[in-house]
Amino acid sequence: MVKEPAHILMVDDDDRIRDLTKRFLTMKGFRVSAAADAASARRLMENMAFDLAILDVMMPGEDGFSLLAGIRKGPARDTPVILLTARGHTTDRIEGLRLGADDYLAKPFEPEELVLRCEAILRRAQKTAPPPDEIEMSGMVFNPVRGELKSGDERIRLTDAELQLLTILARNAGEPVSREDLAVLTSAGLERSVDVQVTRLRRKIEPNPKEPIHIQTVRGIGYRLMPD
């Protein structure tokens, strides 16, 4: 039985980038449908199923953030999403992660890197079921959509870096995420900075931070979040 190629939705208002990316992804074995704006993308998603969506953030009219938010509330809510943007500000990255983006790549980008990120996300999506809306950890509850960690009625304050890290781990609950990926997907930038944020986050979550049961170290890889 021949395996169907993954179907990718490419949304970008720049004709050149959209066409070149579609051509490159197709050459790499993906099936690609393209849209020049959010409205066209919505029409495609109403009639076709996609394994992954690549959304440009800076589009005229409805931007990529708004389109992503709409996807996460609709029937295709579990579709993995990569955001593309010319803006490299930390606040944009945080906003994308808060809305449920799976990855974030700044323009200009190497097409080969985009392919590798697509392949990694698709492998991860095949392995894991959609994450729960809320994750419980020793009496604490984390809601990735709201970006909120609570102990009973008390909200636990998280820094932007801690929230980014916990959100990514929560969206891959039970699965190891490499330190390299965590450095790329958060504002940490360096793997060493990821380790520092993990230590700080453990102090807020773990019953005994010196013997963590929720944010576990996976030797030679990185970290994984284990809910109750």
Interval 85-140: pLDDT, tens: 876 666 777 788 888 898 888 888 899 999 999 998 888 777 555 556 789 999 99
Mark whether 102 and 144 lie in a shared domain. no
Mark whether 219 and 171 lie in a shared domain. yes
Mark whether 116 and 219 lie in a shared domain. no
pLDDT, averaged across the chain = 87
Mark whether 105 and 174 lie in a shared domain. no
pLDDT in tens, 189-201: 677 888 999 999 9
Mark whether 151 and 184 lie in a shared domain. yes
The partner residues of 216 in beta bridges, in order of sequence, read: 224
Q: Please state the domain count of the chain.
A: 2
CA dist., res. 50 & res. 76, Å (int): 8
Domain assignment present for residue 210? The answer is yes
* pLDDT recorded at residue 2: 42
Mark whether 120 and 146 lie in a shared domain. no
Mark whether 42 and 95 lie in a shared domain. yes
Mark whether 61 and 141 lie in a shared domain. no
Mark whether 159 and 101 lie in a shared domain. no
Domain assignment present for residue 1? The answer is no
Q: What is the pTM of this model?
A: 0.58
Buried b (16+ CB within 10 A) or exposed e, 61-86: eebbbebbebbbeeebeebbbbbbbe
Mark whether 105 and 140 lie in a shared domain. no
Domain assignment present for residue 166? The answer is yes
Q: What range does the domain containing 174 cover? A: 135-225
More reliable by pLDDT, 47 or 65: 65
Mark whether 66 and 122 lie in a shared domain. yes
Domain assignment present for residue 2? The answer is no
Q: Residue range 75-91: average pLDDT?
A: 82
157's CB contacts (< 8 A; 6+ apart) are none
For strand 31-35 and strand 81-85, is the pairing parallel, antiparallel, or unpaired?
Answer: unpaired
* pLDDT recorded at residue 173: 85
**CATH number of the domain to which 214 belongs:** 1.10.10.10
